[in-house]
Amino acid sequence: TDINRDYFASDSGQAMIKRIPQRRLGAAEDLTGPLLLLASAAGAHMTGAVVTVDGGHSINPL
């Protein structure tokens, strides 16, 4: 977003991005696959699940 653009362009922001396993920030389009799964019959048996879409960020300590 505009509010974060300057930070992620800075050295500290770039260092943070390098710690994300996929080495990039997420985009709205990254939600397409998980949302289609949850909205389709393929996800019909899923209940009470948390689907984390963060490029591996949550498994990597900051």
User: Quick one: pLDDT at residue 1?
Assistant: 76
Q: Give the pLDDT band of residue 3 (cuts 50, 70, 90).
A: confident
**Residue 31 has which token pair?**
């939600």
pTM confidence score: 0.72
61 assigned to some structural domain: no
Say whether pLDDT at 62 is over 70: no
Range of the domain at 11: 2-56
Q: Which residues of 45-58 are buried (b: 16+ CB within 10 A; e: fewer)?
A: eeeeeeeeeebebe
62 assigned to some structural domain: no
Give, in order, the Cα–Cα distances in Å from 14 to each of 4, 39, 41, 58. 12, 34, 39, 17
Please state the rounded mean pLDDT for residues 40-51.
Answer: 91
Q: How many domains does the chain have?
A: 1
**Residue 22 has which token pair?**
């996929």
Give per-residue pLDDT as tens, 8-38: 999 999 999 999 999 999 999 999 999 999 9
User: Quick one: pLDDT at residue 43?
Assistant: 92
